[in-house]
Amino acid sequence: MTAKACIAPAWAKQDGLKRDGDIVVITCMAEAPTDELAETRAKQTCDNLAGTEVINRTKLEGFSSAQKNFVGPPAELAGSMCVVGVECESPRLRTCMTQNSAKVWRLCTYNLERARVGRPEECQVPKPEEAIPAHELYGPPDLRER
């Protein structure tokens, strides 16, 4: 496909996040040097947004209404957390290849009732020596998004 053909599908032009009780529908887009990397980035973006929804719900349950209306995160919300049980149900994908990159649009439905903030031992954070080098994640410096 040519660059002119890279138009977002109709379902991806809607709002990025829609809530209906425990169900959240998220639309994400990513661009990368390869279609595989673009798909990975789009999936990570959607999963991260769903995880943020879980963290916000969990942390805000114990706050008073005055605290909930506070602009900016209180100290109790700071720090790194992980979420377990966030799974994209019935994903919808559209990929568009150009000469130098790939664009992927992804739509995911998440049931947040199945997700929760994880305990430290459940959070599979890689050790520094196991981290993926930046060039493998983002491509060579000359191909990275500007």
The model's pLDDT over 4-48, given as tens digits with 9 standing for 90+, comes to 568 889 998 877 889 999 999 999 999 999 999 999 999 999 999
| CA 74 to chain centroid | 23
Contact 83, 117 (CB under 8 A): yes
| Cα end-to-end distance, the chain, whole Å | 22
**pLDDT tens-digit map of 77-133:** 444 567 888 899 888 999 999 888 999 999 999 999 988 888 777 776 655 566 666
Q: What is the DSSP letter of 113?
A: G
CA atoms within 13 Å, Cβ hemisphere of 8: 15
Write out the DSSP string of 32-92.
Answer: ESSHHHHHHHHHHHHHHHHHHHHHHHHHHTTS-HHHHT-SS--GGG-S---EES---EEEE
Q: Where are the domains of the chain?
A: 3-119
Question: Is 138 strand, coil or helix?
Answer: helix
Q: Is 83 exposed, middle or buried (0-12, 13-18, 19+ CB in 10 A)?
A: buried
pLDDT at 75 over 90: no
